[in-house]
């Protein structure tokens, strides 16, 4: 599959922000800012907190909006005695399309391991949704020169057990932990280098077709001013946007990166 057939995916990870009233307002504002031409060129997903998902789903379906609905996490089992957890089955029933899996905040703050991530990837696929698998190195790991080893190890662990066809349909988000919420972005060249290593790892595990098809996002302080140069890298197919996705004008400008006149604008 030629590179140009990979559709870009820009995803807004709202984290633990926006109650369901605020969520509706944010989607309504975005609806005025993101137009048909944008959706024709780019897939756009929004990932509100669980308590907002039903409200956002209702709005998307009532107004026929082209935002894809996403979640930020789910449990690896379909049901059971897991107090406080949310089943992937429930998300699928709400027409959720994408589920973020293994975000570094989940790994660091909630003890998710590569093994948990692998189970969640399987759970999301079993329920006919697309996982956005997050991988990334800490600053210490980057300074020690172990970025590629860390990131490709996380990728290999996450896709273990998936068929080549499943792997081709995945989204992998490369998010250097030191760049998340810090205002520091990896240089486009550094991000490209790691995303290329991710694609090679996918190729080694699942074959060339899966490697060409898999979509790789960059995440970590993405802003309207940095998106275009990131998106011009051959192995970067989209962005996972945190803080900037809460500002409708900024997020819309990120989605519209094609329209910016020159890199950095």
Taken in order 51, 54, 58, 64, is the CA torsion positive or negative?
positive
20 catalytic? Reply is no
175 catalytic? Reply is yes
% helix / strand / coil in the chain, to the nearest 5? 50, 15, 35
Site string for ligand PGA, 77-96 (x = CB under 6 A): --------------------
Q: β-pairing, 68-71 with 43-47?
A: parallel
Q: Should residue 13 be labelled a site residue for ligand PGA when binding is judged by CB under 6 A?
A: yes
Pick the binder of ligand PGA from 112, 175, 235, 250 (CB under 6 A). 175
DSSP character string of 129-170: -EEEEEE---HHHHHTT-HHHHHHHHHHHHHTT--HHHHHT-
Q: Should residue 135 be labelled a site residue for ligand PGA when binding is judged by CB under 6 A?
A: no
CA dist 245 and 22 (Å) reads: 13
Which of the residues 177 through 236 are near ligand PGA (CB under 6 A)? 180-181, 219-222
- C-beta closer to ligand PGA: residue 210 or 221: 221
- C-beta closer to ligand PGA: residue 88 or 243: 243
Taken in order 218, 219, 220, 224, is the CA torsion positive or negative?
positive
Single out the segment in contact with ligand PGA by CB under 6 A; choices: 76-84, 188-196, 237-245, 252-260: 237-245
Enumerate the active-site residues: 103, 175
- Which residues are near ligand PGA by CB under 6 A? 13, 175, 180-181, 219-222, 240-244
């Amino acid at each position: 599959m030629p590179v140009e057939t990979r559709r870009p995916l820009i995803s807004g990870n709202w984290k633990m922000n926006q109650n369901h009233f605020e969520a509706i307002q944010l989607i309504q504002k975005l609806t005025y800012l993101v137009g048909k031409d944008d959706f024709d060129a780019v897939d756009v997903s929004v990932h509100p907190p669980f308590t907002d998902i039903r409200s956002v789903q209702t709005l998307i379906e009532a107004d026929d909006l082209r935002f894809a609905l996403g979640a930020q996490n789910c449990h690896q089992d379909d049901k059971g005695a897991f107090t406080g957890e949310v089943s992937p089955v429930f998300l699928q029933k709400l027409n959720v399309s994408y589920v973020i899996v293994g975000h570094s905040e989940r790994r660091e703050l909630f003890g998710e391991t590569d093994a948990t991530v692998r189970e969640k990837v399987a759970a999301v696929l079993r329920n006919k949704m697309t996982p956005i698998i997050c991988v990334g190195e800490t600053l210490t790991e980057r300074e020690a020169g172990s970025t590629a080893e860390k990131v490709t190890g996380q990728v290999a662990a996450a896709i273990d057990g998936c068929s080549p066809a499943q792997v081709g349909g995945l989204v992998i988000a490369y998010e250097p932990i030191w760049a998340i919420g810090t205002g520091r972005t990896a240089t486009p060249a550094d991000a490209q280098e790691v995303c290329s290593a991710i694609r090679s790892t996918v190729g080694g595990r699942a074959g060339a077709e899966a490697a060409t098809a898999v979509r790789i996002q960059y995440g970590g302080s993405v802003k309207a001013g940095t998106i275009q140069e990131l998106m011009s890298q051959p192995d970067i197919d989209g962005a996972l946007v945190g803080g900037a996705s809460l500002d409708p004008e900024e997020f819309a400008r990120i989605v519209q990166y094609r329209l910016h006149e020159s890199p950095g604008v």
